[in-house]
Chain A
Amino acid sequence: MLRIQYADYEALRAHGEETYPNECCGVLLGKNIAGESDRGAAMNSAAADNMVQQIVRAGNTRTDSAHNRYNIAPQELVKIQRQARGLGLDIVGFYHSHPDHPAQWSTTDFAEAHWLGCSYIITSIEQGKAATTNSFLLRGTGEDDKKFEDEPIQIDIPANLAATAAQNQKGSA
């Protein structure tokens, strides 16, 4: 399961709206819980959670074809990994958008996915508006047996926001 704070979830969706009609991309920093001492078992266990604690926006270097391709410069990734280290966090996944295209991984996404045990979030942006957000966990032990699995997303909503939302719902019912 992928766990993410409501504010981060909304922020990565908003990022896709901002860059529309181009693809946005970014990095998820956090912790793989259950994974500290035995990542191998963790990444192959359905019980392992990637818990996002911070998202980092990245630039899309594919200016030649930004509407249907994304690439994060490795130099930028090195900096982000350094930033994560400073915060005591790990890179636990990535996000990108699919402008006017479903929130499903493509063969390009799969071929270019190499971070086993990490979560790949895809948000479909329809006519400039964030529609569906899905997460896929890259499982396997290497390039030969890797696969994307549908991954449930748990969005953690702060108590005060949740109370307001419940109140609004009651009011409108």
Chain B
Amino acid sequence: MKIHIPTPLRTYTGGLETVSISGATVDGVFQQLTVTYPELKPHLFTSEGKLRSFVNVYLNDDDIRYLEGKQDTAVNDTDELTIIPSIAGGTNL
């Protein structure tokens, strides 16, 4: 399946915006992604192996955190995953 990589993380995918990775579940795809591109791992996961809080992952148009199966959700080759770090901020007042 296709995985879309956000601008800052393309450093670790050889500059690629889209990479193709096979897997049966979201988790499986991520495992394979970090095997293929090991430098991505610390940017996506904490040392305990949890997805970093500011990293959003969308399976097609759905946030995986809100999918019933979460990271165990089954995927097929025509699905697309998008990794998108959060954008927020504001004044301190």
A residues with a Cβ closer than 8 A to B are: 23, 25, 27, 32, 36-40, 43, 58, 62, 65, 68-72, 74-75, 77-78, 81-82, 85, 90-92, 94, 96, 98-99, 101, 105-110, 112-118, 120, 142
User: Which residue of chain B has the shortest Cβ distance to A109 in the bound complex?
Assistant: B89
Interchain CA distance A28-B53 in the complex, whole Å: 23
Count of inter-chain pairs, beta carbons less than 8 A:
111
Residues of A within 8 A of B56 (CB): 74, 77
Q: A112's contact among B8, B55, B84, B89, by CB below 8 Å, is which?
A: B89
User: Would B7 and A32 count as touching, CB distance under 8 A?
Assistant: yes
User: Would A117 and B8 count as touching, CB distance under 8 A?
Assistant: yes
Residues of A within 8 A of B18 (CB): 85
Q: Which residues of B, 39-93, contact A by the 8 Å Cβ criterion?
A: 42-43, 54-56, 58, 61, 63, 82, 84-93
User: Would B7 and A114 count as touching, CB distance under 8 A?
Assistant: no
Interchain CA distance A72-B86 in the complex, whole Å: 8
Interchain CA distance A53-B55 in the complex, whole Å: 26
* B11 sits at the interface (CB 8 A): yes
User: Which residue of chain A has the shortest Cβ distance to B42 in the bound complex?
Assistant: A142
| Sample of 9 A–B contacts (CB below 8 Å) | A36-B15, A39-B7, A70-B90, A72-B87, A92-B7, A108-B91, A114-B55, A114-B86, A118-B7
Beyond A75-B63, A78-B58, A142-B43, whether A85 also contacts B90 by CB under 8 A is no
- Measured CB to CB, the closest approach of chain B to A42, in angstroms, equals 9
* B6 sits at the interface (CB 8 A): yes
User: Would A85 and B4 count as touching, CB distance under 8 A?
Assistant: yes
Known: A74-B84, A78-B84. 5 other contacts (CB 8 A): A23-B90, A81-B4, A94-B87, A108-B92, A114-B8
Q: B84's contact among A43, A81, A107, by CB below 8 Å, is which?
A: A81
Interchain CA distance A123-B10 in the complex, whole Å: 28
User: Would A106 and B92 count as touching, CB distance under 8 A?
Assistant: yes
